[in-house]
Amino acid sequence: MKQITILGSTGSIGRNTLEVIKHFPNEFRVFGLSTNSNIRILSDQIKKFFPEVVVVRDTFKAERLKRNINNKIILLGGEDGLIELSGIKVELLVMAISGSAALFPLIKAIETQPMIALANKEALVMAGPLINQKVKETGTKIIPIDSEQSAIWQCLEDRDKSTLKKIYLTASGGPLKDIDKRDFRKISLEKVLNHPCWKMGKKITVDSATLMNKGLELFETMYLFGVDISKIDILIHPEAVIHSMVEFIDGSVLAQLSITDMRIPIQYALSYPKRLRGFLKPLNFIKIKNLTFLKPDLNKFPCLTFAYEAAKAGGTLPVVLNASNEIAVESFLKRRINFSNIPKVIEKVMKLHKNIKKPTLHDIISVHQWARKKAEEVVNNFN
Amino acid sequence: MKQITILGSTGSIGRNTLEVIKHFPNEFRVFGLSTNSNIRILSDQIKKFFPEVVVVRDTFKAERLKRNINNKIILLGGEDGLIELSGIKVELLVMAISGSAALFPLIKAIETQPMIALANKEALVMAGPLINQKVKETGTKIIPIDSEQSAIWQCLEDRDKSTLKKIYLTASGGPLKDIDKRDFRKISLEKVLNHPCWKMGKKITVDSATLMNKGLELFETMYLFGVDISKIDILIHPEAVIHSMVEFIDGSVLAQLSITDMRIPIQYALSYPKRLRGFLKPLNFIKIKNLTFLKPDLNKFPCLTFAYEAAKAGGTLPVVLNASNEIAVESFLKRRINFSNIPKVIEKVMKLHKNIKKPTLHDIISVHQWARKKAEEVVNNFN
């Protein structure tokens, strides 16, 4: 029985993780769960999975939950509580917190946990080199959950990395693939949130529409597999059947394919190094009929260019990319800016930034805060 | 430096193997070469690769070659010579003899060699269980050269076989994919020999047109990977970019892709377990654009049904399938029968056969000879 803690259990990845766990009651046991503020879903998860420790980051909500749960369960509140749970050793910690909020709990988990299933990409974007340094020091094993990174992981697994020539990071192209760039200004929030292939959280769905999600994945790939940015190509693949590919120096390419359901890569991250019999329908190639590939349109999706630029520059520029994107997406979700202004916010803040080449964690946090503030200012100026 | 013997060096696979070797003068060294009768090409290969031993199976031709080569090279003739060369231990023996003629040299090689790169499928069709038994006894390692089997090998490599759920054996569909079955009678030899994707020998090209090649590969897959026939699905994939796929129990599929050039899987078989930097152009997904999948048309290509039937039955029925196919294809190549009569010859001989469930090598050889004779009779009756 693998003891598992899920940080961010009420989000999309967290909920899917628990669905997988539910199917394998003899394999997995939930030790800890955490939410930012969604105590309604957390209460429900507590009833179903009997965790020993739960954390609600919002201390006010934590107080409210206290009245409604069994007092045998340890309930912690606030950022401190989250860090505390990250530091209680289990067999696998699933990091399903989205955005920059994952950074500190992740660092604590790397210091404590033998194995981490990582769904968060923002922490890697912000502090990839520092995180990798810590991973090296502690020897913790990081297994990707993101479908693309899981695909690369499965293609590379235990293979000699010196034989890797190129990684094809595939992208469905998002919900706006076939929409003219000139119409981006008036595109509705509803349209953007209607992803053709994946059901995901709002932030990542908007990131899929701008292709920033793929941009952030460039960093994930770089840091998870120790690959230079020059070896990563983005390939638009609308059917989202191939989740990524690895080309070897001899011209052979390995690809991982599956239905577009996050429970597939989540299950593999949970069961790794084993595979367990899946409970979802398999791929049906006769029904699929066609797999297509296209070049990404960098003119239409400038966020990709910004991401490449930040990945090449390194230092704190990726922090700025990520922080300004967080604010821009938040503002779009609150209908404060229109869709075509998202890249404009990012571009403006990136241009204002003086890159710090080898940042400390402290530098990263201050640049992150600076960039969020600057992005807010840019958003306000649009109105 | 890996010392290599190539049996069947003047055929398509043999010549391609030498082309790969030529590109890696510091990795590979040719020890032995053999041909059935093509002393013109063999002489040329001797000049370029300086083997220590050569064999010409046709003793008359062997005599002719003797006058023209350096007397430091050991020249052997006949079937005995071939068996002798198979029995001289090198680091890798490449079995590139096509058809049933490979059976005895292969058995000798399994008794002697630590590693065999196997391009021949007919020997496995005829005597798969016996060959696997011998491989088990001697501990020799067999590495596939056939692009489909190499693909499966690369997807499975060192992975726990109990997690394998299904193998998708892909087939380009051959040169007659889009031709109406009613027109098969009058199809010309030239049309059949014009394969859309692969440049290969004549026998295998005809087998690709009838899809018998894929039928024979069913046996290869069964015996090379120890998989039951019920776990192997044939998938028509006209672009021949995906060379086969493996589905695992958790719903993940791994696929191997490359350009359609035999030198890719040959190079991997030679360099295994390493990969060497390739010298061919890589895949270009932007140019490829589309990968498609179709169900095989069993009505149009009855040879596939015969192959499944023989694979399920086991025993000597696969021997009959293979032998009658050899005669039918030979007869078609000599313009003695038309294309649509190929499956008819096979069907008739298979129906006449009384299956021997657990055949000895002796049984296999007599059934093979019986089936060839019967097939000849059927062919004669068509005329």
List, for residues A52-69, the tens digit of each pLDDT value.
999 999 999 999 999 888
Confidence of residue A191 (pLDDT cuts 50, 70, 90): confident
Q: For A148-154, what is the mean pLDDT?
A: 98
Confidence of residue B374 (pLDDT cuts 50, 70, 90): very high
Residue type for B188, please? S
Long-range contact set of residues A366-373: C-beta below 8 Å, sequence gap at least 24: A367/A316, A367/A319, A367/A320, A367/A323, A368/A100, A368/A126, A368/A319, A368/A322, A368/A323, A369/A323, A371/A319, A371/A320, A371/A323, A371/A324, A371/A327, A372/A323, A372/A324, A372/A326, A372/A327
Contact between A254 and B155 using a beta-carbon 8 Å cutoff: yes
Beta strand ranges found along A216-323 (DSSP E): 232-236, 242-248, 253-257, 290-292
Q: Judge contact between B172 and B181, C-beta under 8 A.
A: no
Confidence of residue A175 (pLDDT cuts 50, 70, 90): confident
Of A251, A254, A277, the CB nearest to B264: A251
List, for residues A275-295, the tens digit of each pLDDT value: 999 999 999 999 999 999 999
Percentage above 70 pLDDT, chain A: 99
Asked whether the predicted pLDDT for residue A355 surpasses 90, the reply is: yes
Confidence of residue B202 (pLDDT cuts 50, 70, 90): confident
Structure tokens at B253: 């599929």
Considering only residues B158 and B326, tell me which one the structure prediction assigns the higher pLDDT: B326
List, for residues B18-47, the tens digit of each pLDDT value: 999 999 999 999 999 999 999 999 999 999
Structural domains for chain B: 2-144 (3.40.50.720), 147-260+282-312 (no CATH), 314-383 (1.10.1740.10)
Cβ neighbour number for residue A273 with a 10 Å cutoff: 11
Across A39-53, A200-214, A296-310, least confident range: A200-214
Question: What was the pLDDT predicted at A331?
Answer: 96
Q: What is the mean pLDDT of chain B?
A: 95
Percentage above 90 pLDDT, chain A: 87
- Among residues A116, A117, A86, A111, the alpha carbon closest in space to that of A101 is found at A86
Asked whether the predicted pLDDT for residue A250 surpasses 80, the reply is: yes
Report chain A residues whose CB lies below 8 A from the CB of B291: 290-292
Q: Judge contact between B249 and A276, C-beta under 8 A.
A: yes
d(CA A88, CA B352): 72
Q: For A90-115, what is the mean pLDDT?
A: 96
Confidence of residue A160 (pLDDT cuts 50, 70, 90): confident
Asked whether the predicted pLDDT for residue B383 surpasses 80, the reply is: no
- Among residues A348, A328, A350, the alpha carbon closest in space to that of A339 is found at A328
Report chain B residues whose CB lies below 8 A from the CB of A248: 275
- Classify residue B253 as left (phi > 0), alpha (psi -120 to 50) or beta: beta
Strand partners, B235: B170
B165, closest residue in chain A (CA to CA):
A277
List, for residues A18-30, the tens digit of each pLDDT value: 999 999 999 999 9
Angle at B133 between CA B131 and CA B139, to 5 degrees: 95
What are the helix and strand counts (H, E) for chain A?
16, 12
A155, closest residue in chain B (CA to CA):
B254
List, for residues B148-182, the tens digit of each pLDDT value: 999 999 999 878 889 999 999 999 988 888 889 88
- Maximum alpha-carbon separation in chain B: 62
Confidence of residue B342 (pLDDT cuts 50, 70, 90): very high
Confidence of residue B192 (pLDDT cuts 50, 70, 90): confident
**Residue B330 distance to chain A (closest CA, Å):** 34
Measured CA distances, B179 to A120, B142, B184, B191, B345 (Å):
52, 37, 8, 11, 21
Task: Give the 3-state secondary structure of residue B124.
Answer: helix
**Residue B352 distance to chain A (closest CA, Å):** 36
Contact between B292 and A290 using a beta-carbon 8 Å cutoff: yes
Q: What is the pTM of this model?
A: 0.95
Cβ neighbour number for residue A176 with a 10 Å cutoff: 21
Contact between B235 and A285 using a beta-carbon 8 Å cutoff: yes
Question: What was the pLDDT predicted at B201?
Answer: 80
List, for residues B111-147, the tens digit of each pLDDT value: 999 999 999 999 999 999 999 999 999 999 999 999 9
Asked whether the predicted pLDDT for residue B199 surpasses 80, the reply is: no
Strand partners, B67: none
* ipTM for this prediction: 0.95
Question: What was the pLDDT predicted at B32?
Answer: 98
Question: What was the pLDDT predicted at A159?
Answer: 81
Report chain A residues whose CB lies below 8 A from the CB of B286: 235, 293-295
Question: What was the pLDDT predicted at B379?
Answer: 97
Long-range contact set of residues B34-41: C-beta below 8 Å, sequence gap at least 24: B34/B5, B34/B6, B34/B7, B34/B8, B34/B9, B34/B81, B34/B82, B34/B85, B34/B97, B35/B8, B35/B9, B35/B10, B36/B8, B36/B10, B36/B97, B36/B101, B37/B61, B38/B10, B39/B64, B39/B65, B41/B10, B41/B15
Beta strand ranges found along chain A (DSSP E): 2-7, 28-35, 53-56, 74-77, 92-95, 115-118, 141-144, 164-171, 232-236, 242-248, 253-257, 290-292
**How far is residue A318 CA from its own chain's centroid?**
15
Q: Judge contact between B295 and A287, C-beta under 8 A.
A: no
Considering only residues B161 and A114, tell me which one the structure prediction assigns the higher pLDDT: A114
Question: What was the pLDDT predicted at B159?
Answer: 81
Q: For A149-173, what is the mean pLDDT?
A: 93
Question: What was the pLDDT predicted at A70?
Answer: 83
Report chain A residues whose CB lies below 8 A from the CB of B283: 247, 251, 253
Task: Give the 3-state secondary structure of residue B378.
Answer: helix
List, for residues B79-118, the tens digit of each pLDDT value: 999 999 999 999 999 999 988 999 999 999 999 999 999 9
Query: β-strands A28-35, A164-171: how paired?
Result: unpaired
Question: What was the pLDDT predicted at B223?
Answer: 97
Question: What was the pLDDT predicted at B174?
Answer: 84
Report chain A residues whose CB lies below 8 A from the CB of B288: 293
Asked whether the predicted pLDDT for residue B268 surpasses 90, the reply is: yes
Contact between A250 and B257 using a beta-carbon 8 Å cutoff: no
d(CA A376, CA A349): 10
Of A154, A251, A286, the CB nearest to B278: A251
Look at chain B and count its residues.
383
Residue type for A305, please? T
Contact between B249 and A275 using a beta-carbon 8 Å cutoff: yes
Across A96-100, B53-57, B278-282, least confident range: A96-100
Across A183-187, B209-213, B259-263, B328-332, least confident range: A183-187
**How far is residue B203 CA from its own chain's centroid?**
10
d(CA A133, CA A129): 6
Q: If you count residue pairs, one on A and one on B, with CB atoms under 8 Å apart, how many are there? A: 132
- Classify residue A80 as left (phi > 0), alpha (psi -120 to 50) or beta: alpha
Structure tokens at B343: 């499956």
Q: For B250-257, what is the mean pLDDT?
A: 98
Of B158, B253, B268, the CB nearest to A158: B158
Question: What was the pLDDT predicted at A264?
Answer: 98
d(CA A154, CA A143): 10
Scanning B141-237, the segments in alpha helix (DSSP H) are 147-156, 189-192, 202-210, 212-225
- Classify residue B370 as left (phi > 0), alpha (psi -120 to 50) or beta: alpha
Considering only residues B332 and A198, tell me which one the structure prediction assigns the higher pLDDT: B332
Q: For A161-184, what is the mean pLDDT?
A: 91
- Give kind and range of the element (H or E) at residue B324: helix B317-333
Q: What is the mean pLDDT of chain A?
A: 95
Question: What was the pLDDT predicted at A68?
Answer: 86
Of B251, B258, B290, the CB nearest to A253: B258
